[in-house]
Structure 1
């Protein structure tokens, strides 16, 4: 049996599995609740990842047939689809932009309250100047208040929409104001906005420090891939890895390297602060 036959068979098996996954994602709409917390959503395979995996499978098939590296059928798709995810920066910029929007909205609400408006009127009035990152959440808050929701339930729903510990701090102060109806809420919100601004500055500094090891890991990975490619094509240094046990050892070494990248990414991502305001969406409406 020529080596082309098992290579084509393995490639067709992997391509078939990828096609089944892509077809199921298009044809079977999964029922989803009306509102779910963002951090509880199951990760989904993007179309870009599937395309990269398919391209990697094609590259791996060519390498396996031409050079005899059968391990490329597994390594090439995993590398092309997984390395961009592991070496890319997490989406921290979005969360920082939302924090800045919360700070701006809190200052705007404090200004409206200073003019003598009531809490409900002030919350609805801030819709006109709501920052874009949190405009949908403020729009839903105003709609709930106009629909005669109680102020407390509407604020708790806002906390669930914002889905952030800082949003919970804002909601907690608004809940206290809704219950006690005392003076001084504007000054409290101004002080809270200053605290959010300090939090934004701290997160930017932390993210700048985290970007340095990510850049180092990215360059080390690219240099390693380049060196291994050159050695595999031109040198005898990797000749022992052409055998069956050698290719299994190569997979084990690459798996350890990927595990290190995953560990570094988890360390750089961090854990978001725990929330303390809000309740499940099914129990929000009175």
Structure 2
């Protein structure tokens, strides 16, 4: 035990020295936003979640509390009960990146299909605005609500640029920005030239979807390994409660500290694996630069008023 405590103290000392040197000298890694800013962004994102997602989060939290309390009362082992309680939330959290990546890829695939449909409508002689309104019929399921919103905004008199920018904000993806940037630049164009450009963009998006699917297929292997490792570890912890001789060394204060250290290391490895397998998003470019003094003209994005009503409102002011 003395050797183990010495090893832990040595690791803590080395980690502290590395932190001090990194803080004084600095690193070449890109500077991240402050912790409180990231926390506020996460909280805002939580408020924007659907009711089903919020209910699921509350259910998992309540289940974690029940498991923690039940295991602690039965076994008296605080750290192990905390580990099992955290597993109720942690295991779904560990699987989330794969679900997010699948949803993003599905959206991009639907965007490619919608772009191809716009090109077909343009070849029939429609203008771009009319084609976007008509495209709500038979829209891909993944984008159907967004396309319907786009059509409704155009019918209410929104300028196409403002409606397309709002659509881009809803998708929040750099690949989608490429499509919407081309549509914004060609909003007054029609004919085979724009249709051909949209068909080329549709092909580009399809190629990117294929690459993303291949990447996610490679990432699925380590995710499966981590998932099974987590299940086996939790199974060993649960089985240990039925073998008193196995858990007896961890019932002392020192045993609790050692178990807490091992648990923290295990959770840290899982968090690192999750970060490495997360669907990393490239920053968008179709967003206003807060440092720029140039501002977009009023396009009805906030009010949704038709152009004639906006002119009347401006005259009244």
> What TM-score comes out, normalization by structure 2 length?
0.69
Query: 8 Å contact 1:56–1:79 — kept in the other structure?
Result: no
1:190 aligns with 2:193: no
Q: CA shift at 1:274, angstroms? A: 1.3
Structure 2 residue aligned with 1:82: 90
Q: CA shift at 1:91, angstroms? A: 2.1
User: d(CA) in 2 for partners of 1:164 and 1:191?
Assistant: 19
User: d(CA) in 2 for partners of 1:136 and 1:229?
Assistant: 45
CA RMSD of aligned residues (A): 2.8
User: d(CA) in 2 for partners of 1:55 and 1:190?
Assistant: 54
User: d(CA) in 1 for partners of 2:156 and 2:80?
Assistant: 60
Structure 2 residue aligned with 1:55: 66
Structure 2 residue aligned with 1:176: 185
Structure 1 residue aligned with 2:213: 204
Structure 2 residue aligned with 1:285: 300
Worse overlay, 243-252 or 155-164: 155-164
* 1:110-165 deviation line (CA, Å, top 9, x unaligned): 00001111111111111112112111211121122212222222222221122211
Structure 2 residue aligned with 1:242: 251
Q: CA shift at 1:271, angstroms? A: 1.8
Q: Which secondary structure does the structure 2 equivalent of 1:269 belong to? A: coil
Q: Which secondary structure does the structure 2 equivalent of 1:110 belong to? A: helix
User: d(CA) in 2 for partners of 1:38 and 1:52?
Assistant: 22
Q: CA shift at 1:221, angstroms? A: 2.0
Structure 2 residue aligned with 1:72: 80
Query: 8 Å contact 1:59–1:76 — kept in the other structure?
Result: no
Structure 1 residue aligned with 2:162: 153
User: d(CA) in 2 for partners of 1:236 and 1:38?
Assistant: 43
Worse overlay, 178-187 or 47-56: 178-187
User: d(CA) in 2 for partners of 1:160 and 1:173?
Assistant: 15
Residue of 253, 256, 271 corresponding to 2:265:
256
Change (3 A) 1:167 1:238: same
Aligned length: 246
Change (3 A) 1:73 1:238: closer
1:275 aligns with 2:279: no
Q: CA shift at 1:244, angstroms? A: 0.7
User: d(CA) in 1 for partners of 2:74 and 2:253?
Assistant: 16
> What TM-score comes out, normalization by structure 1 length?
0.76
Q: CA shift at 1:209, angstroms? A: 0.8
Structure 2 segments unaligned to the other structure (5+ residues): 1-40, 48-53, 291-297, 302-317
* 1:243-280 deviation line (CA, Å, top 9, x unaligned): 11111110111011001101100110032121111459
Query: 8 Å contact 1:104–1:131 — kept in the other structure?
Result: yes
Structure 1 residue aligned with 2:57: 46
Change (3 A) 1:235 1:259: same
Structure 1 segments unaligned to the other structure (5+ residues): 1-36
Matches within 5 A, 1:15-30: none
Worse overlay, 244-253 or 86-95: 86-95
Query: 8 Å contact 2:122–2:191 — kept in the other structure?
Result: no
* 1:51-107 deviation line (CA, Å, top 9, x unaligned): 32133124323333xxx4233342332222223322453422211111111011001
Q: CA shift at 1:219, angstroms? A: 1.3
User: d(CA) in 2 for partners of 1:188 and 1:207?
Assistant: 29
Change (3 A) 1:116 1:247: same
